[in-house]
Structure 1
Amino acid sequence: MKPHRKAGWIAGLMPAMALAACTSATPPAAMPAPPANPPANMQYLYGSGEAGAVSIQAFRALLNYAGEQVKARPVDSVVLAQGASLDAPAFAPCGQKPFAAIFDVDETLVLNLGFEYFDARTGQGFNDAIWDQWEKTGAGQVSPVPGAVYAVDALRSMGVTVIFNTNRAAANADATAQAIANAGLGKAVHGETLFLKGDDATGSKKDGRRWTIAGKYCVIALGGDQLGDFSDLFNQIASVPERRQAAIRGMAAKMWGNGWFALPNPVYGSGLKGGFEEVFPAGKRWDPPAATDGK
């Protein structure tokens, strides 16, 4: 915009207008000071040796399992077939298709250190527009999850294709591929080894992408940090206690460590919900006994 020729006299009025505003308007609230430390859940996931150890442990278990499956040539993949349910599971057949392992990206293979630093310092919480900016510009501020680079390299050396299935936006495919490469995880090709939200009409649901992949590959391992990285069926369960039971009973309980491998993420996601009534069973609550006089 070109400056208006009246800008000079308008500028002369500004000090008086500003003074009037100060005397008649409530001053804006001061921005809160940044916290002294990141939240405890971020300290754990991004800073602790414990989280690193759990991640390495998960990847080692995945590699051991994958090696056995490559030798054995399984009949079925570990992707639930279309029409299956958690109570009546059925899996996509393998046939003679080449082997693949499917991984989520964020906090499964890649730690979004730059974004989480911003979040921790500002306390703004998740914002779609800021996350979109992060996808586009944050590829240089990521790190691999401990154990991820070794696992991905080892899988490829076994002849297993590593496929990334993430809810990052298809519009940002090139930037996401760069973030994956910057984390030391090699090349990701959109539509071949990189599947993104927007690739089909199902939005953030991942089953459709998994079925597409399982149509071409014998999928011998799934890795993720959310239950939706294994089946969208979990996210159809509204009750927090029922969802937990679905993950630790029946078919799902048999899959953990046997084709499905979960990575720790206490920072965000579908697992962070539930009130006191849902999280703590009525018969398992405790308060200190009332103090007794003389003791």
Structure 2
Amino acid sequence: MRKVFLITGCIILAGGLVALDYWQGYNQGLVSEQLVQDNIEIQQLLNEKTQLEEASQQATTEEKTPVENTEMSAAVLCFNSLNQSFYTEVYPVVKEKVDSGIFVLENGKLPGDDDYISTQDFSELIDSGWVCAISLERDADDALWKSNIEQYLTALNDRVSAKPAVYYLSSGSCTEADAEILKELGFETVLCHEQTAAKTVGELNVVQLLGYNDTDVAGSISSSEGNCGLEIWVSWDKSVRTRVRYTSAALQNLLNNSTITLTGLDDMLNGEPVSVSRTPEERIAQIDQRLDELYH
């Protein structure tokens, strides 16, 4: 009997060691990935600082005070896969820097479902000016897709008295036929991942979603002629490689990015490009502050 217990204990210990080794390797992978992102950002900031210092030195020689007119890249934040951690961990950080954004109810889930955003948190987000979008699997049959959306909207209204005006397409672009159906259902804006310069399709506004932690996300936004959103998956599924995983460090990098202005959906759809004037010294001070954060 003692021999049996001994063997069983050895098996359990071996299993525990394997699990520990896997977990340590997984954490090391996350750390390595974040270090790569940080190093890329550090190098970009150092290059920009060098250019600004050279411009400042030249201006001093010529007895001029240069002013850099910079057009800021505007985008709206879009959060997907809303488990409870969104409201308890992510939203408190975001609301310090951003007045509003978009959150997506996907795959027929409703506020108050198990391990999902609660009805109270949902209502507080709406009261704070955030915009709710919904997403259901696109059925090949138009009539069935429309019927599924209608049923979901009824269930959502019964649960939290809400009628969203934004629809999220999980893949592809929004066709004219899609836009017509969504317009009939009361939607005004569609979110999609297809690269497009168009700001509308049919009678709907279009917002193109980008990965929020891309190394050149500011360049992608500024070069786009359309409306842009930055998508963050709060609960990440490793089996879907196109989804951009949430990490607190990447989100902080985005919130502290001085070349992107994060705006609400209505402001982005109706507003003009944001422009700021600053001296090289002011920008260098911003860079030094960010470098200090990255180094520590």
Check whether TM > 0.5: no
Q: Which has the higher contact order (CA 8 A, sep 6+)?
A: 2
For normalisation by structure 1, the TM-score amounts to: 0.30
